[in-house]
Structure 1
Amino acid sequence: MNLSVPGRTLAGAALALAGLLAAGAPAQSAAPSAARPAALAAPDIPLANVKAHLTQFSSIAAANGGNRAHGRPGYKASVDYVKAKLDAAGFTTTVQQFTSSGATGYNLIADWPGGDTGQTLMVGAHLDSVSSGAGINDNASGSAAVLETALAVSRAQLQPAKHLRFAWWGAEELGLIGSRYYVNNLPAAERAKISGYLNFDMIGSPNPGYFVYDDDPVIEQTFKDYFAGLGVPTEIETEGDGRSDHASFKNVGIPVGGLFTGAGRTKSSAQAQKWGGTAGQAFDRCYHSSCDTTANINDTALDRNSDAAAHAIWSLSAGTTNPPGGDAYESTADVAIPDAGAAVTSAIPVTGRSGNAPAALRVGVDIKHTYRGDLVIDLVAPDGSAYRLKNSSGSDSADNVITTYTVNASSEAANGEWKLRVQDVARYDTGYIDSWKLTF
């Protein structure tokens, strides 16, 4: 950019349990509602994949003088890395050249086939670093998240109503040069076709906040609703307002929005209380410094923001996935999960289908729980075969499991009663299955 979670306590668990009882959480034996078609959710963006891209960007910098700055070989190598991934995934890529400070710069544009080009949703991040370091949080984090989300579009073979275009900008650190060049060279008729631009700049700060741009109300609310579903409060982004590539689009009247986890500004006590981390310390102490390495990333923030990016893209492009007419079935009956108790199940009956389930059966899960690391989750096929979706983990200290898993269920008959089985294997926290769905 040009510019944790509190520990577990018995008291906290008791409060959480009281809250569930006050809300009328159902008994364990609650029956699932009838299955019904449901809208498809965005996929979970694998944190490991995003971090693998960060490792590649770090290696590129190390092999090219320690940075990925405009006009330096590390920047062009970064462009080549991203382009190769997108080309292999079926995108149509274009490298746009410009000149700044006597050096050639590059923007990388990638279009996903299909969708109404008269309503184009753009998603972008700047790919360059400052000259003093590898720029892993600023902004390999945003670049990697946008890349992995684009690859998720390809894996899902998304068929959105709107056309999708992804972009990686050059020379942002010199004053938004690359994105400004792109926008200024678009004819007015082409600008009018861009329905919105989403920007991701510094989304893995080590002492993170959760900031949402407040430029376009629809985009803003899309992000806010996603984080509200995780139980994560957000604030309006002000530190870098107008200092990242969304400004190039906003200045010509294109609706914009985006996410940010903080740069050099100090985290307040109130912010530390609601987000965790350290009050009185910068959100990113390595902002524009040589220590902005792969060690300068908060995994939880990077994971949440990457998933939020996918959620916004799927929602704002109104996409569906192949095959056309694929059906989803959902149970919305709440099922309480006892603390350190026996496994509970929620069932979805599937009828009227022929043959076996798909090799990419999508299992959307919405579980409200005060410590998701306690949970073991399985999908149980009609013949009783179990597919592990999630293991318990003492280090997974966030709330809730709201994600979509993909299961190779091609050996299973599609028709029959499918079950989601959930067990809380540790003490002091509680929750319930809110809803879940299968997409064939």
Structure 2
Amino acid sequence: MASTSVRTLSAAPPAVNVANVNAHLQQLQTFASSNGGNRATGTAGHTATTTYLQQKLQAAGYTVTVQTCTTCSGSAKNIIADWPGGDTSNTYMFGAHSDSVSAGPGINDDGSGTATLLEAALVLAANNPAMTNHVRFGWWAGEEQGLIGSKFYVNSLTTAQRTAIKAYGTFDMIASTNGGYFVTGTDAVAVKLREYFTSINVPTETSTECCSDDGSFRNAGIPSSINSTGASYKKTSAQVAKWGGTAGQAYDPCYHKACDSYPSNINSTSLGRWANAELYAAWTLTTGTAGPGGCASPGQKLGNPGFETATTPWTASTGVIGANTGEASPRTGTRDAWLNGNGSTSTETLSQSVALPAGCSTYTLSFYLKISTAETTTSTQYDKLTVQAGSTTLQVFSNLNAGAYTLRSYNLAAFAGQTVTLKFTGVEDSSLKTSFVIDDTALTVS
């Protein structure tokens, strides 16, 4: 069980009892059964859900904001819970959507995310750790109608409040009966989740399924991830070899159906693992002393990682950062960094200096890179992109590496305790263009 294995991690947080998570799910099923079979936004079933969350969190000592989403059906409520303490300029946020579709009770989608985050929050409160950074939990209305509640919340924040959120992780469908373990993002929350799953020998993948409330945060320039066991996509044979289950069948056969009910549509093993992963991420990112190696300043160290807010603190050649389209379309959001693609002799650069704290266990640089080229050779590097940390070359890409957005990751532990300049240098020859497009960067320490 995850609650036992997590204790192999240095100074791990207390375990989440999955029986308590199941008790919350039973309540959500009752709210649906008593109110027309669902908990859709604008219904009595959803109101009962948000009232339950509010009461549990307030009783545990959270400062709870009940935000009326005036753009949601029936002016439904977002529930935002802040645990007192920690540096609010370094806030780590965890969220799930509290509504269901009208077709059913929404127990996996997204009662599972709702219930696991609630119990993780309650366990944190019961243990009352000393806080270095700040933790906030959010439950969103209107997700099933187009991420309306989370958009409303993000739009209500000032620029300073958005900047204060260093990472946001959303948890949407984390107990699919034929599911996998998908951690999709490079933010600090995603880094911690992968760290936890590695500790219990559960492999993770990124997912191509979309979309959930992480999009509302990412589009506002907040580093974000979506974390899930999968929805309607079908499980592959390779994934069965990793996680078990049935190949060729949907991760959740009851996705958006009446059969998404408790207890039949819940994988209790996944539920328990994710609940503990969530608490591990929240605990180690915000208590300061609980992370492996005593990392006192974990999280994302790059500014403007998705290039969504002008250019600062990046330094770049003219026109590299912008709202690019066509072959240079962003992976997420509306902006990215596009080097070269001129079809003539050119050198373009993109860089940022970053201070890395000492005493952490992991230092990971990651970014998504898309390369498109008009070169036809299969053997000669005519156009090149060099990735450097300080004077160290991490990798050289070229026209021979053409392909769609691919996640690239590098260990920067050698630079712990230093200020290092990350630099991308694109060099193009006199003919036949090659474009190097970078998006969703991260330099996360933990």
In structure 1, list runs of 5 or more residues that go unmatched: 5-37, 322-440
Change (3 A) 1:157 1:319: farther
1:275 to 220, 240, 243: 243
Give the whole-Å Cα distance in 2 for the aligned partners of 1:319 and 1:113: 15
Answer yes or no: is 1:310 the counterpart of 2:240: no
- 1:320 shift after superposition: 5.2
Residue matched to 2:183: 212
Matches within 5 A, 1:23-172: 40-100=11-71, 103-172=74-143
1:68-99 CA-to-partner distances (Å, cap 9, x unmatched) read 00110100110001111111101111110123
Once residues 211 and 102 of structure 1 are traced to their aligned partners in structure 2, the CA distance between those partners, rounded to angstroms, is 30
Look up the match of 2:149: 178
CA distance in 1, matches of 2:217, 2:72: 22
Is 2:269 the partner of 1:300? yes
Q: 3-state SS of the aligned residue for 1:192?
A: helix
- Per the alignment, residue 257 of structure 2 pairs with 289
RMSD of aligned Cα (Å): 1.6
Query: In 2, distance between residues paired with 1:170 and 1:102?
Result: 9
Preserved contact between residue 94 and residue 110 of structure 1 (Cα < 8 Å):
yes
What secondary structure sits across from 1:139 in the alignment? helix
* Residues 112 and 219 (structure 1), Cα distance of their counterparts in 2 relative to 1, 3 Å cut: closer
How high is the sequence identity, in percent, across the aligned residues? Answer: 50
Query: C-alpha separation between the residues in 2 aligned to 1:319 and 1:48?
Result: 29
In 2, the alpha carbon distance for the partners of 1:199 and 1:302 equals 15
CA distance, structure 1, for counterparts of residue 41 and residue 238 of structure 2: 38
CA apart distance, 1:214: 2.2
Give the partner amino acid of 1:185. S
Q: Which amino acid aligns with 1:234?
A: T
In the TM superposition, residue 102 of structure 1 has moved relative to its aligned partner by 5.2
Q: What TM-score results when the alignment is normalised by the length of structure 1?
A: 0.62
Q: Secondary structure at the match of 1:202?
A: coil
Partner amino acid for 2:91?
T
Whether 2:169 is the aligned partner of 1:198: answer yes
Amino acid corresponding to residue 74 of structure 1 in structure 2: G
Structure 1 equivalent of residue 329 of structure 2: none
Which amino acid is 1:150 matched to? A
Q: Per-residue displacement from partner, 1:167-194 (whole Å, max 9, x unpaired)? A: 1000000000000000011111111111
Aligned partners of 2:139 and 2:183: how far apart in 1? Answer: 20
Q: Is the 8 A contact 2:39 2:102 kept in 1?
A: yes
Does 1 or 2 have the higher relative contact order (CA < 8 Å, sep 6+)?
Answer: 1
Q: Deviations 1:327-352 (Å, cap 9, x if unpaired)?
A: xxxxxxxxxxxxxxxxxxxxxxxxxx
CA contact (8 A) 1:133 1:292 kept: yes
Counterparts of 1:297 and 1:98, CA distance in 2: 29
Task: Tell me by how many angstroms 1:318 deviates.
Answer: 3.4
Which runs of 5 or more structure 2 residues have no equivalent in the other structure? Answer: 2-8, 291-446
Matched letter for residue 32 of structure 2: A
Aligned length: 282
**Which aligned runs of 4 or more in structure 1 are off by greater than 6 angstroms?**
none
Q: Which amino acid aligns with 2:267?
A: N
